[in-house]
Each structure stands twice: as C-alpha cells, then as structure tokens.
Amino acid sequence: AQSVTQPDIHITVSEGASLELRCNYSYGATPYLFWYVQSPGQGLQLLLKYFSGDTLVQGIKGFEAEFKRSQSSFNLRKPSVHWSDAAEYFCAVGAWGKLIFGQGTELSVKP
Amino acid sequence: EAQVTQNPRYLITVTGKKLTVTCSQNMNHEYMSWYRQDPGLGLRQIYYSMNVEVTDKGDVPEGYKVSRKEKRNFPLILESPSPNQTSLYFCASSLSGRRGLGYGYTFGSGTRLTVV
C-alpha cells in the first residue's frame, strides 16, 4: 500500500539551530516527492520537489531535502532556523494525479 | 495573478442540504484535485482530475461528487452532507508532466465547512 510517514508530530528547535524533518514513504515505484509548508490559517506552499537526478534538492526559504532510495526517505533540512519558519510541514509522494500526504510535523521555534 | 480560487471560504450548513464548493484556476493546468484536512490526519485526497471529463477517486471519495466540464473549473459537490464531513477543504491544480504532477500541486486558500 502507498503511504507516507512523518514520525515526528511536533518538533521544537531554537532559533539559529539546524533542523531536520523526517519523511519515509512506501510506493510501488520511485514517485515524485514534495515538501509543503502550511502557516497557521493559510494554504499550502510548495517548498521543493524531487523527480530524478541529483538526490539533494534545493528549495525556497533556504530549505533542502535529500532523497535516499535505499531508505525510502526524503528528509527536509535547514542549516539555521528562523522564527518565521514556525509552521506545519508536510511530505507528499505521488505520480499522475494522485498525491499522498503525510500527517505533518508541526515546527515550533524558541527564541 | 496565477491562483486557485475557492468559494466560499467559510460555510455552515445543515445535515442533508446539498452544497457545492467551487474551484477555479487561471493557469491552464491539466490536473485538479480536492483534499480534506483534519487534525492528526494530514491531507487526504478526495478526487482528482487529469483533464476535462477525466476524473478518478482519491482515498476518501465517499459522500462526494465532482465534475470537470471545463478545464478551469472543478466543483466539489456534497449531495447530502453529514457532520463527519466537517473539515477544511483544499482545491489544487498542477501542470502535467512526465508521470503527471510535473510541477507539484498549487493549492487554494481553503474552505472551512461545518455541517450541523
């Protein structure tokens, strides 16, 4: 069955610290992989996407993600978190019109 | 401005009263989709469409209908809403590409539906 798992429901990091949000997936073939961010009361914004090629992809707002086929993972990273990064982050995988989302990781940032 | 527009933003209705949530995109996207978002469950796909007159079920299609008669519009219909359909609904659209979803979905601002 196709699924996406984000193991961490809630993460708190200090401003300026590094961040890694985990995402594992189960899919029949190599899917397209995405990370989205949702600020409170807002819609979803695409941070980055991976289709093929270089397994380290760069996105907006200083985020990057690394695809590891052997681990079926697509973890999101940021070297230095800003207070404005506090939001909910969703990993998603899919192909054609079908896109499956994880349950989300809520990020809090301590001053 | 390129965008996905949903209406209404907020809706309170009573059980059994048919309703339609509209969705329109001005980006000439082939793919469109509806999701519902519930706390602790993330986003779950209701239906998606790969082009005019081509629709398919997502993971939670029960109780919903869609139609895609024009490329820009993809309305979500609840024929007989029930309280368990109280949720935050998002419409999304995407250009097609290799294996579809070539560019990721662009999301609307959401419709908060309450069924009492």
Residue among B50, B102, B110 whose CB faces A43 most closely? B110
Closest Cα in chain A, distance from residue B39 (Å): 9
pLDDT in tens, B11-21: 999 999 999 99
B42 CB burial (10 A radius; 0-12, 13-18, 19+)? buried
Residue B64: per-residue pLDDT: 98
The CA distance from B17 to B81, in Å, is: 6
Give me the phi and psi of B22, to 5 degrees please: -90, 155
Residue B100: per-residue pLDDT: 60
Q: Reply yes or no on whether the pLDDT at A64 is more than 80.
A: yes
Q: Reply yes or no on whether the pLDDT at A29 is more than 60.
A: yes
Does the distance separating the beta carbons of A44 and B107 come in below 8 Å? yes
The CA distance from B6 to B2, in Å, is: 13
Does the distance separating the beta carbons of A97 and B100 come in below 8 Å? yes
Does the distance separating the beta carbons of A43 and B108 come in below 8 Å? yes
Residue B101: per-residue pLDDT: 63
Residue A11: per-residue pLDDT: 97
Q: What is the mean pLDDT of residues A60-87?
A: 96
pLDDT in tens, B53-88: 999 999 999 999 999 999 999 999 999 999 999 999
Helices within chain B (DSSP H only): none
Hey, what amino acid is at B7?
N
